[in-house]
Structure 1
Amino acid sequence: MGMRIGLGFDSHAFKADVPLVIGGLKIDHPEGLAGHSDGDLLLHAITDALLGAVSAGDIGTFFPPTDPKWKGTDSTVFLKTALEEVALAGYKIVNLDCVLIMHRPKIVPIAEKMRERVADLLGIDMKDVSLKGKTPEGLPQDGTAVAHVVVLLESITIPDEHKHLTLHAEAPLDADIDGVVGELVRDTHDISALGRKVPAFDPGDDLT
């Protein structure tokens, strides 16, 4: 069984009069995080970790910050695209380890709720999501939040009925293919508008 590891990183500056969203969770705080989208640095880091694990580029590959249509976008859209890339590559999530670094708000009091939200978005068990809150001791990061994420993937064994379909069908139906992808990500998504762009990777793109 094949295993793959992905590493994700993101950072955003705090900004007044902006809603604070971290891990898909709206947090009551006087400042939010500045960014082209909703500034959800944890989902951005998870997205990049997933895409990196299957060599699919990064967020900027699919959602360039130069494109105004992604302004203020809910970052769950980015995450769904990454999950689709992972499924199409034939992998599933084993677990992920996340670190959030910021002076405030304090992450520990809301860590369990955030883990639950992230697990729900990824379609995995909460026990497979680790989340740690740290303060940047000795570092001048009062106005910045940083996220690090490591994800482990494993290859998927295709069920026998789908192997039979591949071997004996002249051409698999679209419905059959959609069903397989839906099983892999635990939720069927319309990927027609969210698929891989060409070229697949441009290191010059950066969502932040």
Structure 2
Amino acid sequence: MGMRIGYGYDSHAFKAGVPLVIGGLAIEHPEGLAGHSDGDVLLHAITDALLGAVSAGDIGTFFPPSDPRWKGAASSVFLQTALEEVATAGYKIVNIDTVLVMAKPKIVPIAGELRESVATLLGVKPGEVGIKAKTPEGLDQDHVAVAHATVLLESLGIPEPVGAMAATAENEIDVVVKTLVGETRSVSALGRKVTPFDTDDLT
């Protein structure tokens, strides 16, 4: 079966007066993370890793920060879209590994809760989610949270006849369209958003 990997990265500065949410988990802390959405740096990195693994772009492709609809939005919405892209491409998650880099709050005491939260959002087992923490020693980033995420996907192995049937159906639709309008129109994008990326490009 085919395998793919994806890598995601994100960073946000801390900001007073907003709640701190990491990995979908509300954390008690004097400051939260600044961002157009809820600033969940971990879910943002995981979302980009998933989208990157299937060459579907990044969070900005689907949820541009210039769009007021996503102001203060829960990052689980972004993650769900990435999961849909993964499923559409015919893959499933094998495991995810992440690294959080921040001075405070300390992640180790809540790593188990974070793992459970992320696993639930992804629909995988907690043992398939890695949560690690580092401090930004000597980097002058004590007021910033950084997240790295790597994901491994496995092909669902859609049988050949299914793919052939889909191709036949699309050809028949092309014939109908040509008959109606007098010219061939591409219908390959019907049913889902077109991305400027080739999901068969492994590079």
Q: Into which bin does the TM-score normalised by the smaller protein fall?
A: 0.7 to 0.9
1:52 equivalent in structure 2:
52
Residue identity opposite 1:84 in structure 2:
E
Q: Deviations over 1:70-93 (max 9, x none)?
A: 100000000000000000001100
Residue identity opposite 2:22 in structure 1:
I
Q: Note if 1:196 corresponds to 2:198.
A: no
Q: Note if 1:22 corresponds to 2:10.
A: no
Q: Deviations over 1:147-188 (max 9, x none)?
A: 000000010023x7x9569749x86xxxxxxxxxxxxxxxxx
Shift, 1:98, TM fit: 0.3
2:119/2:125 contact within 8 Å kept: yes
2:114 equivalent in structure 1:
114
Query: Which whole-Å CA distance do the structure 2 matches of 1:4 and 1:199 have between them?
Result: 19
Shift, 1:139, TM fit: 1.2
> Which has the higher Rg, Structure 1 or Structure 2?
2
User: In structure 2, do the counterparts of structure 1 residues 18 and 128 end up closer, same or farther at CA, with 3 Å as the change threshold?
Assistant: same
Residue identity opposite 1:89 in structure 2:
A
**For 1:139-154, what aligned pairs fall within 5 Å after superposition?**
139-154=139-154
Q: Note if 1:82 corresponds to 2:79.
A: no
2:99/2:148 contact within 8 Å kept: yes
Q: Give the number of equivalent residue pairs.
A: 178
1:205 equivalent in structure 2:
none
User: In structure 2, do the counterparts of structure 1 residues 27 and 91 end up closer, same or farther at CA, with 3 Å as the change threshold?
Assistant: same
Q: Note if 1:133 corresponds to 2:136.
A: no
Q: Could you say what the CA RMSD is over the residues aligned between the two structures, in angstroms?
A: 2.5
Q: Alignment partner of 2:121: what SS?
A: helix
Query: Which whole-Å CA distance do the structure 2 matches of 1:153 and 1:7 have between them?
Result: 11
2:6 equivalent in structure 1:
6
1:10/1:146 contact within 8 Å kept: yes
Shift, 1:138, TM fit: 1.3
Q: Note if 1:31 corresponds to 2:14.
A: no
Q: Alignment partner of 1:66: what SS?
A: coil
Unaligned segments of structure 2, at least 5 residues: 170-191, 199-203
Q: TM-score, normalised by structure 2?
A: 0.81
2:57/2:195 contact within 8 Å kept: no
1:61/1:197 contact within 8 Å kept: no
Q: Alignment partner of 2:81: what SS?
A: helix
Residue identity opposite 1:103 in structure 2:
A
Q: Which runs of 4+ in 1 moved over 4 A?
A: 162-168, 197-201
Q: Alignment partner of 1:45: what SS?
A: helix
